Structure 1
Amino acid sequence: MEIINLQTKAQLDIYMNPQRQSLLRILEKSKMPRTPKDLSLELGVSASSIQYHLKKLESLGLVYMDHTANIRGITAKYYAPTRVTVRIGGDKEDTLINERVALSRNLVADVLDNTISTIFRPNQEKCCGDVKTGVAHLTSNQAEELQTIIHEYLEKVNTPSKDTEPWEYALMYYRIKEKQ
């Protein structure tokens, strides 16, 4: 899977926009490409605003125009998410650290909010999903192996099909440095 590294303030600003994050989430959950008009109805904003945001996301390589179709004499453009991994540069030490931290907080908070509203709803049929926390004790080789397993598995399941359902996740891990 291709990795897109967000390295500049302009790239981070494009990606951090809440409207664009909503667009990406909708497109990633969809099994079929969507039109700006369809997306505008779902988000409650104008189709021209959606087109503007799609162009910005397209400039980063996060969405692409899948195809066009003639609908009652109008050419409709259908957009789909590019199946990529976005790396926001958490390993970088630069002047954009505050933007990177804010973006990380927002991305994880969105997934957490969706998780809570899905798996902890009262009077709801049993739902699949969970929150797990803990500490794993790994050698350097095991840590690399775990990262490879996660990356390969997620790459294998990142494309929707008629037999699949979307599952959202926020996976975080880091090496704990013991206090000296």
Structure 2
Amino acid sequence: MDKKNYIILKTDKELKILMSPMRQKIIKVMEREGKPVTSKYVADKLEISPSSAQHHIKKLEQVGIIEFDHNEIINGITARYLRITEKTVSIGQDINDDFTSERDILARNILSETYNGYKELINEKRQLISEEYKKGNKFVDQLAGVIHLSTEEANELFDIIDDFIKQHSKASNNSHPYEYALIAYKADLNNDKSVE
């Protein structure tokens, strides 16, 4: 893992910045867009005031989740374009400190929001999804189970997934946004005496 390509939220202040439901929505809007956007664009999408969008975006900039991309002059006004950083954001679940419960709440919320979006899509578009699946087109899918990996293989898998995600974080003419939530953990760690 290349530490300089990661943002690890270590402090209570950093975690609280990300725990805001509105800031999580801003991140989702920007990730779905897959290209730089203005705070006005975010405000319009979320139906909030431009000043509120700017406030939340500045907080996300403080921890490095959002960064400046470029300026454009539109009708004589300078528009500031922002993007989601290309760094992987970690909420620090592996850190043993006083913020374990906050990290837990944040992790559950992120997973829940992804699942709720999946469930809503399935309920509203089940017929279309079924027809497309028969043609070999996957609009939705979920995988669950157990695989057996050495520590080296697990590290390799995490790197492959992380690299693949980073390579596909920007929109292209023929791409569509796919939301995901991935969890993997060493299931026998409780029984593993070698790590104690």
**TM-score, with length taken from structure 2:** 0.84
1:72 and 1:97 mapped to 2: Cα distance?
48
Could you tell me whether the CA contact under 8 Å between 1:119 and 1:130 is conserved in 2?
Answer: no
- Give the C-alpha shift of residue 179 in structure 1: 5.0
1:129 matched to 2:126: no
Q: Encode CA deviations 1:31-88: one digit per residue, 9 max, x unaligned.
A: 3322222211111110000011111111111112222223333222222111221111
2:95 to 92, 96, 107: 92
Aligned residue among 38, 43, 47 for 1:40: 43
Change (3 A) 1:123 1:29: closer
**Structure 2: which 5+ runs fail to align?**
133-138
CA contact (8 A) 1:83 1:159 kept: no
Quote the offset at 1:6 in angstroms.
0.3
Shift of 1:138: 2.1
Using the alignment, how far apart are the partners of 1:22 and 1:91 within structure 2? 25
- The answer to whether residue 173 in structure 2 is matched with residue 162 in structure 1 is yes
Letter in 1 for 2:104: V
Match of 1:63 in 2: 66
2:68 partner letter? M
The answer for the alignment partner of 1:117 in structure 2 is 120
The one-letter code sitting in structure 2 at the alignment partner of 1:152 is D
In the TM superposition, residue 123 of structure 1 has moved relative to its aligned partner by 5.5
Letter in 1 for 2:113: D
Q: What's the % identity of the aligned pairs? A: 35
Aligned Cα root-mean-square deviation (Å): 1.9
Higher fraction of helix: 2
Shift of 1:164: 1.7
* Contact 2:23/2:60 (8 A) holds in 1: yes
Residue 135 of structure 2 corresponds to none
Q: CA deviation at 1:147?
A: 1.9
Aligned equivalent of 1:54, options 29, 53, 57? 57
Q: Deviations over 1:12-41 (max 9, x none)?
A: 011111111100111111133222222111
Distance 1:163 1:46, change over 3 A: same
TM-score by length of 1: 0.90
Question: Runs ≥4 in structure 1, deviation > 3 angstroms?
Answer: none
CA drift at 1:156: 2.3
- 1:20 corresponds to which of 20, 23, 42: 23
**Which of 96, 106, 109 is residue 109 of structure 2 equivalent to?**
106
Aligned partner of 2:70: which letter?
Answer: H
Q: 1:12 to 1:166 in 2, by over 3 A?
A: same
Shift of 1:132: 1.7
